[in-house]
Amino acid sequence: MRTVYLDNNATTQVAPEVLDSMLPYFMELYGNPSSMHSFGGQVAKKITAAREQAAALINASPDEIIFTSCGTESDNAAIRSALATNLDRRHVITSRVEHPAVKALCASLSRQGYRITEVPVDKNGLLDMGHYENSLTPDTAVVSLMWANNETGVIFPVEKAADLAHAHGIPFHTDAVQSAGKIPINMKSNAIDMLSISGHKLHAPKGIGILYVRRGTRFSPFLIGGHQEKGRRGGTENTPSIIGLGKACELSAANLARENTRVKNLRDKLENALLKIIPQSRVNGDRLNRLPNTSNISFEYIEGEAILLLLNEHGICASSGSACTSGSLQPSHVLHAMGVPFTMAHGSIRFSLSIYNTEEEIDLVIETLPPVIERLRSMSPFWNSSSQTCTG
Ligand code: PLP
């Protein structure tokens, strides 16, 4: 059975060109880039080139790029650096819909005595800018707001939010893990201080990330050790992955237009067809301010997990908006923050596409999903199939 992979916000396939670029650095060119000999030196040159490729994707300078182990590390490093360089401040601003890489860190900071403001979102997942502005105080050490949401794809106005933070002398970090490679990012035309990227969301391998730190930003390293990354991140470089990530950034820059035309058209075709065919279905998240590849749809009165299991039988991979924790189904914190009703939040499915998806695959999902939903609803005590409404 073929796999139809529509879970690209979870992780992506490594691009063949990326794998090719990495392979020599496992067996033949395995030198340490910090070594004095030219065997290691040639690897150091490739890392320099990868840094340039990474910088080019977001129109930054290469010296503003720090390679890390993942998006989570980049988020943690950015927030902890801001706290370490503003020791007298004890307040952090974030949003209610952040990824656990930020959300769980803030919860941990709260237990250590920091005051955390989680800015709410509206029913479309858009940030409450009035609430945000009112939260900025002289005690705020850092603002961390995601550029785009991993579950709904909703985009926050982070460039404007950074300007507002700066007007109060507050450093600004953004988690751009889902936006890099999907929407244009130009660090020369905004004032964001720190930005996180993860390799495995843009066709590089897992376990490699980037933290962008604007030149002149006070920075305190998270991993303290050797002089790697100009002393900003100790640890021998993950050379094959850095080189692969450089290639992936180059490809992403070249594919950005495709993401916003072909991928977006496929996403829209899928979404519009499902909404038309399946009653009591709706899109979660603002349909305009959204990543081009993401569609989060709720199908009322059924469990997302049940839909996923049946889709899985057809080789279709997507993800659900709720997480099964110790037997009890917790609706996603993102949908909860948006006020999505319980019966809708439980039946939510996230489809996330990539440049590798084809129209044929989308057609297959359009054909497969409606009977799956019908079958599940026919088993639901709350669903009255004759009137296609809820009876519970
Ligand atoms: N931030 C966002 C918005 C994400 O979607 C993810 C991964 O799903 C991360 C951070 C964490 O990235 P990583 O898996 O590289 O640690």
Whether residue 216 has pLDDT greater than 80: yes
> How close is the Cα of 213 to the center of ligand 1, in Å?
18
> How close is the Cα of 268 to the center of ligand 1, in Å?
24
Q: Give the single-character DSSP code of 168.
A: T
Report pLDDT for 325. 43
Q: Examine the residue annotation and report whether 249 is marked as an active-site residue of this protein.
A: no
> What average pLDDT does range 33-54 have in this prediction?
97
> How close is the Cα of 386 to the center of ligand 1, in Å?
43
Q: Which of the listed residues 7, 76, 99, 197 should we mutate to test ligand 1's pocket, taking the one with most ligand atoms within 8 A of CB?
A: 99
With a 6 Å cutoff on the Cβ, whether 203 touches ligand 1 is no
For 104-116, what is each residue's pLDDT tens digit? 999 999 999 999 9
For 132-153, what is each residue's pLDDT tens digit? 999 999 999 999 999 999 999 9
Q: Which of the listed residues 94, 96, 106, 198 should we mutate to test ligand 1's pocket, taking the one with most ligand atoms within 8 A of CB?
A: 198
SS3 121: strand
* H or E element, residue 159: helix 158-167
Which residue's CA is the closest to the ligand 1 atom numbered 12? 71
Q: How many CA atoms lie within 13 A of 84 on its CB side?
A: 12
Distance of CA 335 to the CA centre of its chain: 16
Report pLDDT for 380. 78
Provide the token pair at 93. 């601003």
Report pLDDT for 392. 42
Phi/psi of residue 112, each to 5°?
Answer: -90, 5
User: Is residue 384 very low, low, confident or very high in pLDDT (cuts 50, 70, 90)?
Assistant: low
With a 6 Å cutoff on the Cβ, whether 150 touches ligand 1 is yes
Report pLDDT for 331. 80
* H or E element, residue 374: helix 359-379
Ramachandran region, residue 151 (left: φ > 0; alpha: ψ -120 to 50; beta: rest): alpha
Report pLDDT for 351. 98
Provide the token pair at 136. 């900025």
- Rounded to whole angstroms, how far apart are CA atoms 24 and 33? 14
Give just the sign of the alpha carbon dihedral 158, 163, 164, 166. positive
- Rounded to whole angstroms, how far apart are CA atoms 208 and 241? 6
Report pLDDT for 381. 74
